[in-house]
Amino acid sequence: MLRRSITQRGIIAGTLAGTTIVLWFLIADLTAGLPFRTPAFLTYTLFGLDEFEPAVGPIALYTLLHFLAFIAIGYLAAKSTRRLHPRAYILVGLVLGFFLFDLLFYGSLIVTGINILEALGWPLVLSGNLLAGVVLMEYLRFTGPMPAPGWSAFLRENAILRRGLIGGILGASAVAISFLIIDTLFREALFTPGALGSVLIHQASDPAGIEITAATVLTYTLLHYIAFVLIGTAAAALITRVEDHPALLLGIILVFVTFEALFIGIVAIFAAWILDTIGWWNVLIGNVIATITMVGYLAREHPLLWRFLSRKEPLEAPR
């Protein structure tokens, strides 16, 4: 592989990250039927212009500044992570994404006095920045001075992360399929993720504010899968210790119960009306199916625990 200088790596990494953000919001704007709405809004907000429309000149200037900012971030990242271990890059990428999200929030308030995150929808902005941060750091990892192990090798060596990822994806998919079936039979396809996404992205305050668009559904779905992967990883970490400490089985149950209670509690605090709209039973059914799916998969990965859950023999650690 051709080795590049720090400057070259930083420029390319920043350009890739900046392009990721551009494509992310372009897709969101196109699916909402408002091409270039986001760059137009940011352009006129940044420059304090009164007229709001997708004009080529101002948008081109904003886009140039956007890429210059990301190139600078890419250069700083390339210079400061020269000795970083390859496996730490993705974590740093996520941290960088959160940093960019915070920077946009405080920077917009200080410079313009406008909360841009509220106008665009914070989940959409957060998702785009996290994705950009990961793309930037993954490019630096791939072109770094140390060998960059592939994802498959990394997951083979880390059983907890592998099981958490697979278990989380299975659980999230179980909920998504449950929602899709119930929505198709009793309401409108994709109504539930559209409703939940409208609350998260557009801060909808009543059923009239629900928008079932690709951007709303996809953004909620992304956050939905991230949450389940996190909960799956926590459960996988606990379950590895259950065979030695059977009492931790209660801890796994508490993880899922806490997750369910936290979800319902947050919804009840910020948008209590949504539970009446989508049906609390809809959420309950989906999460029960997800719990059974995830526990079943994780138990299958641990034969001793599976035999215990199947009531074939007591759970005892091998002596």
Distance CA 219, CA 200 (A): 9
Amino acid occupying residue 32: A
Q: What pLDDT, on the 0 to 100 scale, is given for residue 169?
A: 93
Mean pLDDT, range 156-169, rounded to an integer: 84
Residue 318 has pLDDT above 50, yes or no: no
Q: What pLDDT, on the 0 to 100 scale, is given for residue 319?
A: 44
Q: What pLDDT, on the 0 to 100 scale, is given for residue 142?
A: 83
Task: Count CB neighbours of 96 within 10 A.
Answer: 21
Q: What pLDDT, on the 0 to 100 scale, is given for residue 1?
A: 42
Q: Which residue reads 């740093």 in tokens?
A: 92
Nearest CA among 203, 193, 18, 46 for reference residue 121:
203
Percent of the chain with pLDDT over 70: 77
pTM: 0.63
Mean pLDDT, range 251-256, rounded to an integer: 65
Task: List the single range of 127-141, 219-233, 255-269 with lowest mean pLDDT.
Answer: 255-269
Q: Record the tokens describing residue 172, joined without a space.
A: 């999230």
Q: Which long-range contacts (CB under 8 A, 24 or more apart) does 143-148 make?
A: 143/1, 143/3, 143/4, 143/9, 143/12, 144/81, 144/82, 144/84, 144/86, 144/89, 145/3, 145/82, 146/85, 146/86, 147/86, 148/86
Residue 258 or 17, more confident: 17
Residue 13 has pLDDT above 90, yes or no: yes
Q: What pLDDT, on the 0 to 100 scale, is given for residue 2?
A: 44
> Burial letters for 32-58: b for 16+ Cβ neighbours within 10 Å, e otherwise?
eeeebbbbbbbbbbbeeeeeeebeeeb
**pLDDT, the chain, mean:** 79
Residue 308 neighbours by CB under 8 Å, 6+ apart = 246, 314, 315
| Tens-digit pLDDT profile for residues 109-119 | 777 777 777 77
DSSP 88: G
